[in-house]
């Protein structure tokens, strides 16, 4: 683990850094799957989404700080209980990423540890996320933490 990394809940003042890191993540995804290239308005949309979501609790975010810079993030969206299925209180990891120069230093593990502690304290019983097919590093990262594949998401052009 990188020495002197601070992990904390994100606040409104973190939104520009969250959007910058989200954009870096989106560019990374686009390098694997071009359909995921962020649109021209994506940064503004993400800013609006977080500006509404963080204060209202619709979204929860954690940030990793090192030497005065925000180097990683993880966002969650509480989903709640599905009365149709298993009845467990669920939370969805919407995005997670570490800036390229700090990958492989334990930053995302530390972010997940903080997020997991929060999820358990809030009474969530299960957590899920999607991983882009071909993002083998992320797949290995999450499976190492105990996540297992549940769905295949299929798509075709029309």
Ligand X SMILES: CC(C)(COP(=O)(O)OP(=O)(O)OC[C@H]1O[C@@H](n2cnc3c(N)ncnc32)[C@H](O)[C@@H]1OP(=O)(O)O)[C@@H](O)C(=O)NCCC(=O)NCCS
- List residues bridging with 96 in a β-sheet: 74
* Choice from 10, 17, 59, 105 touching ligand X (CB under 6 A): 105
74 with 93: CB under 8 angstroms?
yes
Rule CB under 6 A: say whether 21 interacts with ligand X. Answer: no
Minimum distance, C-beta of residue 83 to ligand X, in the bound complex (Å): 28
Rule CB under 6 A: say whether 135 interacts with ligand X. Answer: yes
Cα-to-chain-centroid distance, residue 114: 12
CA-CA distance, 2 to 68, in Å (whole number)?
14
How is residue 87 written in tokens? 């009845």
Rule CB under 6 A: say whether 134 interacts with ligand X. Answer: no
* Choice from 104, 123, 146, 149 touching ligand X (CB under 6 A): 104
Rule CB under 6 A: say whether 144 interacts with ligand X. Answer: yes
The sign one gets for the Cα dihedral 101, 4, 139, 89 is negative
Give the interface segment with ligand X, choosing from 41-49, 52-60, 81-89, 104-112 (CB under 6 A). Answer: 104-112
Coil/strand/helix, residue 55: helix
Pair type for strands 89-98 and 69-81: antiparallel
Identity of the residue, 78 or 106, whose beta carbon is nearer to ligand X in the bound complex: 106
Contact residues: ligand X, CB under 6 A: 25, 28, 96-98, 103-109, 131, 135, 137-138, 140-141, 144
């Amino acid at each position: 683990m990188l020495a002197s990394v601070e992990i904390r809940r994100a606040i409104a003042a973190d939104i520009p850094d969250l959007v910058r890191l989200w954009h870096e993540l989106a560019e990374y995804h686009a390098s694997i799957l071009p359909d995921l290239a962020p649109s021209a308005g994506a940064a503004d949309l993400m800013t609006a989404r977080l500006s509404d979501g963080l204060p209202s609790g619709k979204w929860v975010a954690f940030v990793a700080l090192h030497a005065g810079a925000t180097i990683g993030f993880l966002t969650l969206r509480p989903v709640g209980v599905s009365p149709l299925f298993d009845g467990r209180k669920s939370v969805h990891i919407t995005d997670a990423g570490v800036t390229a120069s700090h990958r492989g230093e334990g930053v995302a593990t530390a972010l997940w540890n903080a997020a997991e502690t929060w999820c358990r304290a809030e009474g969530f019983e299960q957590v899920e996320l999607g991983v882009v097919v071909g993002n083998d590093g992320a797949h290995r990262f999450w499976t190492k933490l105990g996540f297992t594949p549940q769905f295949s998401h299929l798509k075709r052009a029309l």
